[in-house]
Chains A and B, each alone.
Chain A
Amino acid sequence: ETGVTQTPRHLVMGMTNKKSLKCEQHLGHNAMYWYKQSAKKPLELMFVYNFKEQTENNSVPSRFSPECPNSSHLFLHLHTLQPEDSALYLCASSQDLGLETQYFGPGTRLLVL
């Protein structure tokens, strides 16, 4: 049990659909992250939130829209995605920003048709 949960675990969507990924951390951490994991590529950091404020947007296309209503919850809203967006989306949290250990959720496996 890592203390970070993600739902759904699997998602199939068409290019015109709108869906949301949810992440919840039960560790009392202040920082949360979204990563994209594609085959044979390094993990790509997408967004960083610290105390509910976005501190990093790593040139992510606007079809990905994050939301952090509080320090325990993080959402990734998806709309008009492309097939190349198919990947494993990982959420992580850490006590604070900086050189802190990050704790990862199990990920959402997304397939865009």
Chain B
Amino acid sequence: GNSVTQMEGPVTLSEEAFLTINCTYTATGYPSLFWYVQYPGEGLQLLLKATKADDKGSNKGFEATYRKETTSFHLEKGSVQVSDSAVYFCALSRTDKLIFGTGTRLQVFP
């Protein structure tokens, strides 16, 4: 079946550190891939997406590349800020549905 696996959190970093949050997926065919972010007390917001292999999604300094060979879509940012503290969800889209991972909490300290 279709599923998304994310690294367990929390991920704790100091400001300006490099961030990687791993995401791998299992799917039939070629899904679209997404990263959503949920700030405290809010709903999910689309952060970035990629619709085909080797596409790179980017937004607000975050990047993720659709890797078909490794079925991965890892999220990276070169220098995190305290304001990036949130829960990050990897998701794939198949047959009209979004399938989410369990989320990874990121805590950034000054």
Contact = CB atoms under 8 A, between A and B. Distances in A.
Contact of A97 (B32, B34, B96, B101): B96
Given A43-B89, A99-B93, A2 B43 contact: yes
B43 A42 contact: no
A104 B42 CA distance: 9
B51 A104 contact: no
| Chain B interface mostly | strand
Interface string B76-110: 00000000000001000100111111110000000
B23 interface: no
Interface in A73-113: 90, 92, 97-107
10 contacts: A6-B43, A42-B101, A90-B43, A92-B43, A92-B44, A98-B96, A99-B32, A102-B98, A104-B45, A106-B43
